[in-house]
Amino acid sequence: MHALHRRSDTWLGVTLLLSATVHVAAFVCMLWLQQLNPALDQLQTTYYVDVVNLPVVAPQAGNPLPEANATVEEAVATAPQAGPQKPPATPLPASGGGKVPPSEDHGFQERMAKLTAKAAEQRQAAALESLRAKISGGKTGMPGATGSQSGSDYTAYLHSRLKDAFRETISYQSAAPFAVVRLTIDGDGRILLTRFERSSGDKLFESAVQRAITLAEQRIVPPPGRTTYEGTFVFKPQGVTQQ
């Protein structure tokens, strides 16, 4: 039994050694190829865009609508093309190209205009349909996001609303109170549940927190995608360091 274990360990060792050798060989090959084809000396400039902190009209999930009551049509007018433009089925003639008889030229122009208009109409319809599907299907959100989750920007938005409200209600009687509160917000922007996960022991302070939440609830918009949002917030007076 002992010998069997030893043999299997030996095989494992051999396999690992073989794997390491192959990897080293591949690495050496890559180095050699790089010497043959030296990398471009020109540096490629890369721009990083801080998408999260970009100012947006409605901060929830980068809603493309300029206002809450803006119509879909207005949004379409400013929306980018839904996808890459397909080339027209018939190639357009180059201007000032070969000579064409006036009657034929006129007919050709008419057909081309119709085709172009049809293609544009189809593109517009596709873009509109795509946007409608996004809005009705609850798939608003940051580009690349699935649209089904409440993003960190909604948390930031909620934090801002709570902070504004807390400024108006803060009141406490203990030295350094802080309370941990879990909020559940439904798809309509109503606070379903306020749960104090950690009490401050200061009833006046917790009353102020509760009042801030009530005040904020009157001003908040629904979470993106009208999904239920859950977040945990620590309320405390400015300058207080929690233990």
Partner 1 sequence: MKRIIRLLFGLALLCSLTGTAGSATYIEVTAPGNRLLRLAIVPAQPLGATIKPELANEMAEAQVFDLTMSGLFTAERRDAAPLPQGLGLSVIDYIPWLSAGYDLLIRGEYELRGDELTVEFRLFDVLSKRPLLIKRYLGSRTDLRRFSHSFVDELLATLAGERGPFSSRILFVSTQSGNKEIFAMDWDGHHLQQITKSGAITISPDVSPDGREIIFTSYKRGNPDLYKRALSSSVDVPLSTRPGVNITGAWSPDGTKIALGLSKDGNTELYLINRDGSAPERLTVTQAANLSPSWSPDGSKIAFVSDRLGRPHIFIMDANGGNVRRLTTNAGNNFNPAWSPKGDKIAYTHQSGGFQIFVINTDGSGDTQLTSEGSNERPRWSPDGRLIAFSSKRGGNEAIYVMRADGSGQTKVSRSGGNSTHPVWTPHH
- Told to check if 219 binds partner 1 by CB under 8 A, we report no
Check binding of 7 to partner 1 (CB under 8 A).
no
Q: Decide: is 90 part of the binding site for partner 1 (CB under 8 A).
A: no
Contact predicate 129/137, CB 8 Å: no
* 70 binding partner 1? (CB under 8 A): no
User: Of 151, 125, 160, nearest to 63 (Cα)?
Assistant: 151
Phi, then psi, of 23 in degrees rounded to 5: -65, -40
Q: Which of 56, 215, 221, 226 binds partner 1 (CB under 8 A)?
A: 215
Least Cβ distance, residue 61 to partner 1 (angstroms): 17
What x/- string results for residues 10 through 29 when contact with partner 1 is judged by CB under 8 A? --xx----------------
Residue 188, helix vs strand vs coil: coil
Q: Which of 171, 190, 193, 228 binds partner 1 (CB under 8 A)?
A: 171
One-letter identity of residue 2? H
Closest to 140 measured CA to CA, from 84, 220, 56, 217: 56
Kindly state whether residue 237 participates in binding partner 1, applying the rule CB under 8 A.
yes
Token pair in block for residue 3: 């010998």
- The DSSP symbol for 176 reads S
Q: Which residues of this protein are in contact with partner 1, per CB under 8 A? A: 9, 12-13, 155, 159, 162-163, 166-167, 169-173, 180, 202-204, 207, 211-212, 214-215, 231-240
